Amino acid sequence: MISLSAKEKTGISDLTDQLLSFVNSGQLRNDETIVTNSRHYDSLIKSLEEIQKVQEGMQMGLSGDLMAIDLREGLYHLGNITGEVTNDELLGNIFSSFCIGK
């Protein structure tokens, strides 16, 4: 455990040393990914859940049409990370699907 305070500027060098030791010792391998953004982490978890639904659907022999919905949801969550889904696109989907303000 490393104690640090950004306000008091203490422990920062300890954190830097620890991170460098992870990199230099090989404890962080190239095939591992570290997700530092909680929004990205949430989107990855949601995407994984959709992929798991598709796997279960395949095992149960569900129609491809039903599994396509889950695939689209999974891609949507990944698009939140990559920037393919924007707020403008979300608003467009909302206004095209619902009758708001009429």
Neighbours of 36 (CB within 10 A): 6
Could you tell me which of 3, 24, 26 has the C-alpha nearest to residue 14? 3
Whether the pLDDT of residue 2 is over 60: the answer is: yes
Q: What is the pLDDT of residues 22-39, one digit of tens each?
A: 777 766 666 667 777 888
Q: Tokens standing for 92?
A: 């467009």
The helix-helix angle for 38-60 and 64-82 (nearest 10°) equals: 170
Q: By the 8 A CB rule, do 67 and 54 touch?
A: yes
Q: What is the pLDDT of residues 71-100, one digit of tens each?
A: 888 888 988 888 776 666 555 665 666 555
Query: Residue 52 pLDDT > 60, yes or no?
Result: yes
pTM of the predicted structure, to 2 decimals: 0.54
Q: How far is CA 24 from CA 14, 29, 34, 76, 100, in A?
A: 15, 10, 16, 36, 56
How much of the chain, in percent, has pLDDT values that exceed 70?
Answer: 75
